[in-house]
Every structure is written in C-alpha cells, then in structure tokens.
Amino acid sequence: MSRIFSGIQPSGELHLGNYLGAVKNWIQLQGQHPTIICIVDYHAIITVPYDPDVLRARRREMAVSLLAAGIDPEVATLYVQSAVREHTELQWILNTITPLGELERQTQFKDKASRQESVNAGLLNYPVLQAADILLYRADLVPVGEDQLQHLELSRVVARRWNAMYGRGEDYFPEPQPLLTPTRRIMGLDGQAKMSKSLGNTIALLESRDEIWAKLRPAVTDPARVRRTDPGHPEVCNIYTLHKAFSAPDAVKQVYEQCTSAGWGCVDCKKVLLDAMDGELVPIRRRAEELRAQPARVDEVLAAGASACRAIAQQTMADVRERMGLD
Ligand code: SF4
C-alpha cells in the first residue's frame, strides 16, 4: 500500500491555515494509507536565529496540537525529525548528486534569499533535506499545496538520478507523487497574504473564544461593503471561506444569501462563524488541555513514532550504503 509522508515545522501552536490546509487532510488520509507525520525541526533552524529551549517547547506544543486536532498514533506515525539521524546522512548523500542549478532555480530559495543580507548554505540545500525526508521512507505520496510542487519535483529528480546511478536497474526509491491538498490556501485575517505566523495574520487553533473574537472582529471582509446596507460578494471574502470550512452547508447557503442581500452586517456574519468554529474547536482545545497535563503521554507517542521510523530509515540507509560502497 502507498506510504504517505508529510512534515510540519515546529512553529508552536497550529494555526487555522495549517489546520485547514494540511492537517485535516492528513486526518482523512491516516486511516487509508500508512502515514508518517514528521515535526521537521532540522528545517526550522535554517533561516533565523533561535533559542534552543524555545525550539524544544515548540516541538512539544506542535505534537500536542497535532494529537489534539486528530492525528491518531494508533494509525499514523508521529515523530520529531532530529530523533532519526538518518535524515541528515541521506541528505549529505543526495547533496552529492543534486545539480546546483536546480537548487538555485527554486522559487522559495530566490524569494527568501532576496530578503536576506547573508544567505547560508542550509537555505539553498533545504529542498535536498526535504527529498531525504521523503526518500528515507521510500514514500510514494506526499500531500502538498501548490506552493510545494517545485520542491517535490526536485525530490523526484533526485530519486531518478540516484536510481540511475546506484539502483542496479531497479527503481529503489519511488518517485514521490503529489497529493494536492483539496482546501485552497487560507488567507490571513488581513486578507492580503496566505495565513502565516511570520506575517502575524493568524488565528491559532488553540486560542480561546475571546482571543479568536478579538482577531475575527476587525478582520478584513469584502471591501465593497462600505455601509451596512451595501450588498456583499462572499466569493471575495475570507470570512466566507472560513464559513465554508466550519459551517454546515445550509448555514453557508444562508451566509451567501444574507451577504448578497445585505441582510446581515459583517459583524453578524462573523458572530455566526465564531459559533460554528466553536463546534469544531472546543473539543480540540479540551483534548489539548488533557495532553498538556500528561507530558509523558506525548513523549511516549513521539518516542514510539521515532522508533518505528528509525527501523525503516536504518534499513534504507543500510541498502544505500551497500549500493554506494559505503558499508
Ligand atoms: Fe464577508 Fe460575511 Fe461580510 Fe459577506 S457578510 S462580506 S461573507 S463577512
């Protein structure tokens, strides 16, 4: 059966963009395929200076958020990347066969490098670590958003090259296929850019109702609704996108009708959204509180996940070393 691999950066709590754009999809997939979810701390140390204690705390908080959201350790494998050292060993090996031009062409590299005075080699080689993450488990499927397709294509190029050079006529590494995430990208509360912690336009999954309302109330809506009596255009409004994610189909229909007829003002519409969000988020917040009260339980899940992944990774590296004369 096809194996799925996906990673998420330990940025602390999940926000709604991660949850709706990635994690809910993993929760759907986890019962259908062997699924590995990796908290990618090696990726998180590349671009900005960080405090080691904060990184440790964020890793744990991300594990709590994922488990509370519905990642089920009975059917999915959840672990922290640095607990499986083979990721970096395979990355070094893949570095030796990755064309520099391919790395320099990566849009995310060009974008991030253009915003930094000094660019470290890790930023350039980041996609090679991603390729190593995926190939280490010989994963067939990688759930991605469209902005990650170029990196995944690089993983496919690297897999093909390694197979041609060392595969002995066999496709040892499957070329990983994208599983495009069904939810289109979630915009931030400013309505300007994708929801992202670094842009400060997020709602965290575990925020309280009051904290969410304080962010939702001033959130940008359809600019055409200048007066309360102006009819709106739900399709251009981020609040409507969130309704489609959290509200029942009948309620979404009602939002559309009330918006286009100016029956509701935007604050009314946001209050309805807040109630709908509560229906899904209150049980998640409750589970997170329970998990935070049992840190040993979270450690146990991560240790079991790392142990299962290490067994696969060690076998892959034994095969790779043997085929490359490194054993
Ligand atoms: Fe957006 Fe709702 Fe306002 Fe319409 S009524 S513009 S959907 S917030």
Task: Report pLDDT digits (tens) over 24-64.
Answer: 999 999 999 999 999 999 999 987 789 999 999 999 999 99
**pLDDT > 80? residue 184:** no
pTM for the model stands at 0.93
User: Residue 212 and residue 189: Cα distance in Å, rounded?
Assistant: 11
User: Residue 12 and residue 44: Cα distance in Å, rounded?
Assistant: 11
> pLDDT category, 275, cuts 50, 70, 90?
very high
Beta-sheet strands, E only, within the chain? 4-8, 35-39, 76-80, 141-144, 177-180
| Contact predicate 139/175, CB 8 Å | no
**pLDDT > 90? residue 200:** no
Section 106-133 average pLDDT? 90
Instruction: Give the pLDDT of residue 49.
Output: 83
**pLDDT > 90? residue 194:** no
Section 255-268 average pLDDT? 96
Instruction: Give the pLDDT of residue 114.
Output: 87
Concerning whether 112 is annotated as a catalytic residue, the answer is yes
Asked if residue 276 has its Cβ within 6 Å of ligand 1, the reply is no
> pLDDT category, 153, cuts 50, 70, 90?
very high
| Contact predicate 284/246, CB 8 Å | no
Q: Which of 24, 110, 194, 270 is catalytic?
A: 194
Domain 207-288 is in which class?
A: mainly alpha
Concerning whether 270 is annotated as a catalytic residue, the answer is no
Q: Which residue has the tokens 């996940």?
A: 305
Q: Which of 110, 197, 244, 253 is catalytic?
A: 197
**pLDDT > 90? residue 197:** no
Q: Count CB-CB contacts under 10 A for residue 288.
A: 21
Residue-averaged pLDDT of the chain:
94
Beta-sheet strands, E only, within 21-117? 35-39, 76-80
Asked if residue 166 has its Cβ within 6 Å of ligand 1, the reply is no
CA R_g for the chain: 22
Strand partners of residue 76: 35
- Comparing CA positions, the residue from 289, 326, 5 lying closest to residue 144 is 5
What digits encode the pLDDT tens for the residues 296-314?
999 999 999 999 999 999 9
Section 143-161 average pLDDT? 92
**pLDDT > 90? residue 185:** no
Section 186-203 average pLDDT? 87
Query: Is 3.40.50.300 the CATH number for 4-186+295-323?
Result: no
User: Residue 137 and residue 140: Cα distance in Å, rounded?
Assistant: 9
Q: Show me where the domains of the chain are located.
A: 4-186+295-323, 207-288
Section 94-120 average pLDDT? 90
Closest residue by Cα to atom 3, ligand 1, is: 266
Instruction: Give the pLDDT of residue 12.
Output: 76
Ligand 1 closest atom vs CA 238: 1
> pLDDT category, 143, cuts 50, 70, 90?
very high
The DSSP result for 145-178, as a single string, is -GGGHHHHHHHHHHHHHHHHHHSTTS--S--PEE
Ligand 1 pocket, mutate which of 220, 243, 259 (most atoms under 8 A from CB): 259
> pLDDT category, 217, cuts 50, 70, 90?
very high
Describe the crossing of helices 52-69 and 295-324 by its angle, rounded to 10 degrees: 100
User: Residue 76 and residue 143: Cα distance in Å, rounded?
Assistant: 14
Concerning whether 194 is annotated as a catalytic residue, the answer is yes
**pLDDT over 90 percentage in the chain:** 83
For residue 46, with 0-12 CB atoms within 10 Å meaning exposed, 13-18 middle and 19 or more buried, which class applies?
Answer: middle
**pLDDT > 80? residue 182:** no
**pLDDT over 70 percentage in the chain:** 100
Closest residue by Cα to atom 8, ligand 1, is: 266
Asked if residue 21 has its Cβ within 6 Å of ligand 1, the reply is no
Instruction: Give the pLDDT of residue 133.
Output: 98
Section 176-191 average pLDDT? 86
